[in-house]
Amino acid sequence: MSISSDARFWDRTSRKYARSAVADQDGYQRTLDRTRALLGATDRVLELGCGTGTTAMLLAADVKRYLATDFSPGMIDIAEKKHRKNPVSGLKFLTAAADSSDLEAGQFDAVLGFNYLHLVRDLSGTLLRIHALLSTDGLFISKTPCLGDMNPLIRLALLPAMRATGLAPHAGAFSTAALVQHISQAGFDVLATEIHSTRGNDFRPFIVALKR
């Protein structure tokens, strides 16, 4: 399956995704609050894998410039319609992936990736690209499922079966420890690894990393 096939999967599911509710609203709010505390009013922010733009709409007003991207045109179309209905100053949506030529090296003070890294096919390459996109002392903020910490039956049986029938996209099966190692090897100092869930076990660590 190519990247374009991944994009088509998310195009097909974009409307359903837009209608879905956040399962843990309190945990999501904690992530929003923690992210706001890390961002400054003069920051230039890039969000990768922004989906239908919900998080971007909630964070963009607190920074100077916020570019929200997703490689699914269907997701971005929904996000732009939401933005036209409720404009936020400094916010722009763009159909793009991390390696897009539209994104220039060194132009962002923070890069955000929420529910994103487990969906990329080249984790190491993506993290190196994120490092390049950041300015000196820029922050990378991530919160993504770590399937390697979950029940083995999910990653070894259920997910492969769902992918084979077109019911699930590609998903990397790394653990939290492995993800932290990948981020460090890409040239970051990991400053914090937190769990924001308010409902039982959570395998989506909130990670803050500083470009070194």
Burial of residue 153 (number of CB atoms within 10 Å: 0-12, 13-18, 19+): exposed
Q: Is the pLDDT of residue 75 over 70?
A: yes
Distance CA(195)–CA(123), nearest Å, equals: 21
What is the average per-residue pLDDT within 1-23? 80
What is the average per-residue pLDDT within 24-33? 96
Q: Is the pLDDT of residue 99 over 60?
A: yes
What is the average per-residue pLDDT within 49-54? 97
Q: Is the pLDDT of residue 154 over 90?
A: no
Greater confidence (186 vs 157) lies with 186
Q: Please give the pLDDT value at position 2.
A: 44
Sorting pLDDT into bands at 50, 70 and 90, what band is 158?
low
Edge-to-edge strand order for the sheet containing 44-48? 91-95, 65-70, 44-48, 108-114, 134-143, 206-211, 188-194
Q: Please give the pLDDT value at position 161.
A: 56
Distance CA(37)–CA(26), nearest Å, equals: 17
Distance CA(114)–CA(205), nearest Å, equals: 10
Candidates 177, 170, 51, 69; CA nearest to 122 is 170
Q: Please give the pLDDT value at position 164.
A: 58
Lowest mean pLDDT among 53-57, 93-97, 169-173: 169-173
Share of the chain above pLDDT 90, in %: 75
The whole domain housing 158 covers 3-211
Q: The domain spanning residue 138 has which CATH number?
A: 3.40.50.150
Sorting pLDDT into bands at 50, 70 and 90, what band is 168?
low
Q: Is the pLDDT of residue 1 over 50?
A: no
Q: Please give the pLDDT value at position 172.
A: 80
**Element housing 7 (H / E):** helix 3-19
Greater confidence (111 vs 173) lies with 111
| Structural domain count, the chain | 1
Distance CA(64)–CA(68), nearest Å, equals: 13
Candidates 138, 134, 137, 142; CA nearest to 183 is 142
Beta pairing class for 65-70 and 91-95: parallel
